[in-house]
Structure 1
Amino acid sequence: MGLLDNLKAKLAPAKGKVSDLAQKHEDKIQHGIDKAAKVVDERTKGKYSDRIHTGTDKAKGAMDRLAHKDRTDPGEGPATPPGPPPPGPPPPVS
């Protein structure tokens, strides 16, 4: 087993815990990202606003993927609607 395989095996339980925490505290994390972005934007006097906004969006997207990765709610169906039913047997010939 290689070094990366060992590392992945040891970090797997931590990933589940982090995902659970991200789900429980999603709103606080989002607020913290926004607050940090605002502080940085103010300190740089708006010079890097577009980059800060892009980074904030990416951070929120990554957090959202982490929080909802393994989430399966019984009330949620598949993302795409089911296709038409398969055709039945042909009608009898008389």
Structure 2
Amino acid sequence: MPDLGNLGDKAKDAANSEKGEQATDAGIGKAGDAASSASGGKFDDKIDAGEGAADSKIGDQG
């Protein structure tokens, strides 16, 4: 079994880099677009709020 000791820390460090921030923002945006498309835009306000909440928790805050 591989040692996953600091894998979580490495993932956080990667997400907090500029390149990681761009990737997480793109992923959150694509997920929001898919949700909006699936709901026909009916819940866009809630989807946008969810995207903002996710973005505030993932990646670089500075």
Find out whether 1:22 has 2:30 as its counterpart: no
Task: Report how far residue 14 of structure 1 moved.
Answer: 3.6
Match in the other structure for 1:56: 51
Give the distance between the partners of 1:14 and 1:39, measured in 2 at CA: 29
Name segments (4+ residues, structure 1) moved above 4 Å: none
Among 30, 35, 41, the alignment partner of 2:36 is 41
1:52-91 residue pairs with structure 2 within 5 A? 52-64=47-59, 67=60
The number of residues matched between the two structures is 56
Identity among equivalent pairs (%): 25
Q: Deviations over 1:21-57 (max 9, x none)?
A: 2123110110110011011101100111111000000
| Bigger CA radius of gyration | 1
Q: Deviations over 1:63-86 (max 9, x none)?
A: 13xx45xxxxxxxxxxxxxxxxxx
Select the structure that is richer in helix: 2
Shift of 1:58: 0.3
Greater relative contact order (CA < 8 Å, ≥ 6 in sequence): 2
RMSD: 1.9
> In structure 1, what is the Cα distance between the partners aligned to 2:42 and 2:50?
14
How far off its partner does 1:15 sit?
3.5
TM-score when normalising by structure 2: 0.74
Q: Once the 2 structures are TM-superposed, how far is the Cα of residue 20 of structure 1 from its aligned partner?
A: 1.1
